[in-house]
Chain A
Amino acid sequence: MDEKFDCIIVGAGVAGLAAAMTLARNNMKFLLIEKGEFPGAKNVSGGVLWGSDLAKLVPNYWEEDAGWDRYINHRRLTFMDEQSAFSIDFKSSHFNETPYTGVVVLRSRFDRWLADKVQEAIDASDHSMDSFIAPNILVEEILMDSGKAVGIRTGEEKFYADSVIIAEGVNNLLTRQVGLQDKYVPADHILTGVKEIIRFDQKVLEDRFQLNGKSGMSNEFVGFATDGVEGGGFLYTNRDTLSIGLVLGLKDLREKEKKPHDILNIFKQHPIISDMIRGGEVVEYSAHVVSSGDKRLIPEKLYKSGLVVCGEAANLLMNAGKAIQGMDYAMRSGILAAEAIINAKNTNDFTEASMKKYQDALEASYVMKDINNFQDAVHLLHDPVMSRKMPNLICDFGRNFFSIKTEPTQKARKMLGKAVKKHSSYWELIKLGWKGSRAL
């Protein structure tokens, strides 16, 4: 093929597909390359897709019974010690309204479904015959000419384009190759995620978690869940399966000499969890590294002449305590990347200054605004006081508060005081409270 594309997108995950959809709708001629057998084949997420951008890409997606699994109307944050769980639980029919604020997805299905939607957009565009989604191809090199990206190489074959969007995911080898990220990225701000998919009879799952129709629950866990390692646990209800897993600070895992798959079994044996997963059948085990949301991991520059980087390839992901956001950032950054390419095409200007508009737009969007604003929360979550002492303290208090004994009962304040002294100190909590109030 010696024809030149307007754009080559590397990676058909959420970011790459969002970019492709935007390009197709604007009659651009592009090639979307995916190394997996099909879009989504190699992608793993928790995973909840937060926010409402999906409705922009696929209007009225909620009328379809494919692609996504459940919408979230029930949120729970659980503090755990060895035997107990103390939860903040919020459920509201307000979240039943469309567009939903979060949908649970399984990437191998969701991405493939979204790719079908992109194909429909290609078919409706001026380039129905010369824009392509090409799976099963591994991009080995970004071709550069005098500092400008001009195409890609796979094996002996080369494809040329005015621009390249890198949406290759967190293991961003091409981003490193073009010099936007260091060749070696240390473990400091990287987490390892491990997950199981557990299948149930759908009615059992719906009754157990009080799901109604396509409603779903997301539950995050702090404390005992991670066996003393920095990080947390998660549990999401899919159609007839649960996604259950952990994200573990890789540096801490290394220092504590623990195995992620062992910790997952410890988590599953916790009395609260074992009650939730009873009778289920594990149908998949997966793992993937994930960015922590620490800004130090995000490349300073997300563009070069003729090239932009989006999604988790740019380490756009954050867990600030309220939710683990990553796929929504991928979606928005993919859209913004494509918009910058469309603008470049219209002005025939693929210079660095033109590509910089992508990063400017990203900085002005909620993605970088939130990442910038919530850095303190990211650090706080990784504070050992927060991840270990607090859950123990909260559960200890809970156990005393909810124990009804045939002896004189202490006032809650006194119970709390005892729990504080046992697990921490007032001074430590004042410091934490101060940090927390600023962070959130």
Chain B
Amino acid sequence: MKLLTLSERLGLVSYRNQAKSEIKPHIVVDTEICNSVCPHKCTTYVCPANCYTMDEKGQVHFQVEDCIECGTCMYACDQGAVSWEFPDPEIGRGVTWNYG
């Protein structure tokens, strides 16, 4: 069986409010903390949706669009950089599972 890449997998997810150009992010990340004091930058690998990425200079970047609301980063980050809320049903992102 052909294995799926992460972007193929995320392509199967039904995200909410996709038609809206501006959404209110439900997670806010203080990447200053990631890029100054954090010794592990673990969100760049533990996030199952790869919302946290590291560029070639080792800097952490975050995007909320692919987030599947799993909660992993809220526990994994022990540096206080992640402010985690649930997405607003009207103006937020987040998921609607077809199977769950």
Contacts and interface: CB of A to CB of B under 8 A. Distances in A.
Contact of A42 (B12, B46, B72, B97): B97
Contacts of B85: 173
Interface stretch (A217-225, A282-290, A302-310): A282-290
Interface string B63-98: 000001111101110101000111111100011111
A36 B42 CA distance: 29
Contacts of A277: 1
Given A259-B45, A279-B1, A192 B72 contact: yes
A258 B45 contact: yes
A409 to B, nearest CB: 37
B97 to A, nearest CB: 4
Interface stretch (A76-84, A183-191, A208-216, A357-365): A183-191
Interface string A31-44: 00001110011111
A256 B27 CA distance: 25
A268 B3 contact: yes
A108 interface: yes
Most buried by B among A36, A136, A243: A36
B75 A286 contact: no
Interface in B2-60: 3-4, 6, 9-10, 12-13, 16, 40, 42, 45-46, 48-50
A354 interface: no
Contacts of B94: 42
B12 A282 contact: yes
Interface in A273-331: 274, 277-280, 282-289
A82 B12 CA distance: 30
* Best-surrounded residue of B4, B9, B49, B80 (most CB of chain A within 10 A): B9
A425 interface: no
A414 to B, nearest CB: 39
Contact of B13 (A43, A193, A265, A284): A284
A112 to B, nearest CB: 9
Interface residues of A, number: 58
A196 B12 CA distance: 10
A422 interface: no
Interface centre among B80, B90, B98, by most chain A C-beta atoms within 10 angstroms, is B98
Residue of A136, A171, A186 ringed by the most chain B CB atoms within 10 A: A171
Interface in A332-364: none
B48 A194 contact: yes
A153 to B, nearest CB: 14
A260 B48 contact: yes
B85 to A, nearest CB: 7
Contacts of B71: 170-171, 288-289
A41 B72 contact: no
A258 B50 CA distance: 12
A250 B97 contact: no
A74 interface: no
B42 A254 contact: yes
Interface in A146-190: 170-171, 173, 184-187, 190
Contact of A284 (B48, B74, B86, B99): B99
A138 interface: yes
A22 interface: no
Contacts of A108: 96-100
A135 to B, nearest CB: 8
Contacts of B6: 261
Q: Which of B16, B85, B90, B97 has the most CB of A within 10 A?
A: B97
B46 A274 contact: no
Given A268-B1, A282-B12, A241 B99 contact: yes
B1 A278 contact: yes
Contacts of A54: none
Contact of B78 (A45, A111, A187, A274): A187
Nearest to A285: B9
B1 A254 contact: no
Contacts of A117: none
B68 A287 contact: yes
A137 interface: yes
Given A254-B40, A257-B42, A261-B9, A285 B76 contact: no
Given A194-B48, A257-B45, A285-B4, A250 B75 contact: yes
Q: Which 6 A-B pairs have the closest CB atoms?
A: A108-B100, A107-B100, A285-B9, A287-B48, A287-B70, A289-B71
30 contacts: A37-B89, A42-B94, A42-B95, A42-B96, A44-B97, A109-B99, A138-B89, A170-B71, A173-B85, A187-B76, A192-B70, A192-B72, A193-B70, A194-B48, A250-B75, A253-B76, A254-B76, A257-B45, A259-B45, A259-B50, A261-B6, A268-B1, A274-B1, A282-B9, A285-B9, A285-B10, A286-B100, A288-B70, A288-B71, A289-B72
Given A138-B87, A171-B86, A287-B48, 5 more contacts: A41-B96, A42-B100, A138-B88, A253-B45, A289-B72
